[in-house]
Chain A
Amino acid sequence: MDALADTVRKLSASSRRGYQNPYEAIEWPETLNREQWFTSPELISLYGTQWWDELSDAGRKLLSFWEAVNFYSLNIAGERFLMEGIAHRLYRPGWEDVAEYLHHFLDEENKHSVWFGTFCQRYAGKVYPDRKVAFPREFADGEEDFLFFAEVSVFEEIVDRYNVTMARDERLVSVARRINDNHHTEETRHLVFGRRIVAELWRQWVDRWPPEVVEGIRAHIAGFVTATWRDYYNPDAYRDAGLADPYAVARGAWDATAAHRDGVTRRALRPLVSAGVLP
């Protein structure tokens, strides 16, 4: 953990300088006209598919609203997992050097969930439920911590690509741009921390793990990438946008948009490749 100490100090100082009151950072209109863009069209899960082609302009904008609700909902689920994991590791023996930053991490993730949850509840009246279930399993020494931070890193790297694009997209309604922009600003620090801690934990443990554990970790990360992307193709959102047979749409869109996922995934996995975790 010594190698992380300097990074942790700098990130903590940056978090303190950029501290935001989550209840003042974003102005929330009383109501929102859904005939506007809430998600960049090119990032909508049906973009480029037959279902996209069949939608009217109003239908595409309505879908962009429900895709935003889905994006924010999957972020709430991801941040809940993250906050549980961070809280579990606060001041655990051996982790004292990073505790200062874990407090900021928790604080900032909680704020993000306030923004995402406020949008979903205020304008959609709901947060889409998370379909993930964790089964208990055995881990080698160090494996659970490593997988936790590797999953967090992959999840946040993918989300950040969407945040960066939508924060700059002037077609989007202001509140959607602000949410994405604020999230990206704070996630930038989390990404740095995630990359550093994943590399550090890998360096500490990889030579102590037998080959089957290393192989299992790589397979788990591949499975996590697939599971993460599945959440972006939510039949609930398609149903709310008025599409018929939303499950068939989800399956068809998944098959039709592999190239988009591959491009984002390649970039999101670069830190794990650089650290030697993935070949």
Chain B
Amino acid sequence: MVSFLLNGKPRKVDVAPDTPLLWVLRDSLHLTGTKFGCGIAQCGACTVHLDGQPVRSCSTPVSAAAGKKVTTIEGVGATSAGKAVQAAWIQHDVPQCGYCQSGQIMSASALVAKNRAPSDADIDAAMSGNVCRCGTYNQIREAIKDAAANVKGA
């Protein structure tokens, strides 16, 4: 049994501790916003926050989440950075197929939460682990800059 705080609510799951967090979220909890892309931390589609830090849930055993705060795309809008990033995504009409965008938004939210004026180099560093096959990178870049400027609160 592994316990963690998922999007602000305590959850307990009865799974093998080495099960990747991704499959616990998806197959055990049916929280499908977090996506499976590669399974080896190469594409970022599965990005979630563990105590506010972006991690690749496909390569994070659920045991690593024990006692920690797990935030997914379904919950990130409750943070000021996540809310601003999602609003910017909608404003810029970023998604095409959309499959990678949960992961993009989670990586972008983590960046914007700590950097209110990210440079292009900052964005490259934070976002180059997230693959978008539709090529929405330029829109993502613009949306991140807008979101960073619009984050409310400290």
Is B a genuine binding partner of A? no
Interface residues in chain A, defined as those with a beta carbon under 8 Å from any beta carbon in chain B: none
Interface residues in chain B, defined as those with a beta carbon under 8 Å from any beta carbon in chain A: none
